[in-house]
Structure 1
């Protein structure tokens, strides 16, 4: 069973696109959430958690980070 990965991003975000490519390259399935389509409070919640840049990647089980982090993407376990 694979873990659930959510990527909070925005259209035209270079680091977001790099994150998608890295996730795709590892075979990680993920859901994209466009922050421009979120209600204002949801963006405020991301900021309150300390995330000040996109993308914000949340992995089921508690891991979360912002920015393009190939080192952390490499740690995501992929279902066989």
Structure 2
């Protein structure tokens, strides 16, 4: 849902598949994340899951 939202709003993003590059799994776990997607935007705290309230701010 997060990816579809960003695409629909025309927000550019970089997708990292943690199944293809497992080094990210440990890094995300170390940051306390237990679910995907994890969204990281410069100047904002990282968050996970579908957060339309935050995504709307990103796409504004």
1:31 pairs, out of 8, 11, 14, with 14
Three-state SS of the structure 1 residue aligned to 2:43 is: coil
In the superposition, the TM-score normalised over structure 2's length comes to 0.84
Q: State how many pairs are aligned.
A: 60
Give 1:61 shift: 2.2
Whole-Å Cα distance in 2 between the matches of residues 77 and 53 of structure 1? 22
Going by fraction, where is strand more abundant, 1 or 2?
A: 1
Superposed CA RMSD in Å reads 1.5
Question: Structure 1 stretches (4+) deviating beyond 4 angstroms?
Answer: none
CA distance change for structure 1 residues 77 and 21 in 2, over 3 Å: closer, same or farther?
closer
Structure 2 equivalent of residue 49 of structure 1: 31
1:31-62 Cα offsets, whole Å, 9 max, x none, are 110000113x4211101101110101111224
